[in-house]
Amino acid sequence: MVIGVVDKDKNIKILSFGCSTGEECVSLNKYLPNASILGVDINKKSLAKAKQNNSKQNISYKYCEPNEISNLGKFDVVIAISVLCKHPEAIYLDDLTKIYPFERYEEMVNKLDTIVKENGLLIIRSSNYIFSDVKISNKYKSIENNN
C-alpha cells in the first residue's frame, strides 16, 4: 500500500470503492486515524456486515451503483483493489473481453478519476487490465511498490 505518501496527521477524505465487508476501511483507519473514510459497494449484504462491525466515527458505508459515483464528492485518495476485475471467471477464459471488455474497465477508471481531487491518489490494484492503457493515465504519475 502507498500510505507513505499521505500525511497521516492530515484530515483527508478516502474512498474505498468496492469495500465489501469493510476490512480495508478498518485497516486504513489504523494507519490514518484522522482520515474520513467512506466505503461503497453494490453488495447490500456485505455493506450490512461492514456497518454491523463498524465502531469508528470516521468510517461510513454506503450503497452506491457505479453510475452514481460522481455524486459522492471529491476525495484525496480513491482506492479500488481487486474490484476492476473478473475473478475467478477470468482464470478459465481464453478471451476475457466476452465478459469484461476493456471499454467497461476504462469507463469505470474515468468515473473514478472524476472524484479524485487535484494532486490526489488513485490506487488501482489487481485489475484485469493495465492502467497505462487507459487514455487518462497520462494525468497520473505511477508510484512503484517494490514489496
The answer on pLDDT for 89 being more than 80 is no
Name residue 88's amino acid. Answer: P
Claim: this prediction has a pTM higher than 0.85? yes
pLDDT in tens, 30-49: 999 999 999 999 999 999 99
Alpha carbon distances (Å) from 111 to 26, 78, 97, 104, 106 = 25, 11, 20, 11, 9
Rg (CA), the chain: 15
What's the mean pLDDT when you consider all of the chain? 87
Bridge pairing between strands 13-17 and 75-81? parallel
Looking at residue 111, what DSSP letter applies?
A: H
Residue 27 has pLDDT above 90, yes or no: yes
For residues 116 and 122, is the Cβ–Cβ distance under 8 A? yes
